A and B are shown apart, each in its own frame.
Chain A
Amino acid sequence: MASLSSALQPLSSALLRCPSSQGSLRSNGVSLSFGRLQSSGRRLRIFCEAKPETVDKVIKIVTKQLAIKEGSVKAESKFEDLGADSLDQVEIVMALEEEFKINVDENGAEAISTVQDAAELIEKAVSKAV
Chain B
Amino acid sequence: SAFSYARLAANLTMHSKPKSQFLRQVCCCSTSFLEPPTSREVHVWCLFPDEVHQMSPLCSYESILSCEERSILKQAKNKKVQKEYLLTRILVRILIAKYTGGVVDATALRFERGKLGKPMILWPSPSNIGKLWSPPKITFNVSHTRSLIVCAITGASQVGIDVEEKDRVTRTDLIRFGRRKFSEMEVAQLEQLNELEARKQHFLHLWTLKESYGKAVGNGIVGTTLRDAAFAFDDFSSTLKFKEYLTGVQAHEQVFTIEANIQNDANLWKFVLLQLSNSHNVPLCVHKDVSVGDPFHLQIMKTIPLMKDEPFFEAVALGMSI
A interface residues (Cβ-Cβ under 8 A, vs B): 64-65, 67, 78, 80-83, 85-87, 90-91, 94-95, 106-107, 109-110
Contact = CB atoms under 8 A, between A and B. Distances in A.
Nearest to A94: B172
Given A81-B77, A87-B170, A91-B170, A110 B180 contact: no
A106 B228 CA distance: 13
A125 to B, nearest CB: 15
Interface residues of B, number: 24
Nearest to B204: A87
Contacts of B247: none
* Main SS at interface, chain A: helix
B171 A91 contact: yes
B211 A86 contact: yes
Nearest to B81: A81
A95 B173 CA distance: 10
9 contacts: A64-B171, A80-B81, A83-B80, A86-B221, A90-B221, A91-B177, A94-B180, A95-B172, A106-B222
A95 B176 CA distance: 11
Contacts of A110: 222-223
A83 B81 contact: yes
Given A90-B181, A94-B172, A107 B145 contact: no
A61 to B, nearest CB: 10
Contacts of B181: 90
Nearest to A87: B207
Given A85-B145, A91-B170, 19 more contacts: A78-B77, A80-B81, A81-B78, A81-B81, A82-B78, A86-B220, A87-B164, A87-B170, A90-B181, A90-B221, A91-B171, A94-B176, A94-B177, A94-B180, A95-B172, A106-B222, A107-B223, A109-B223, A110-B223
Contacts of B180: 94
Contacts of B297: none
A82 B146 CA distance: 11
Contacts of B207: 87
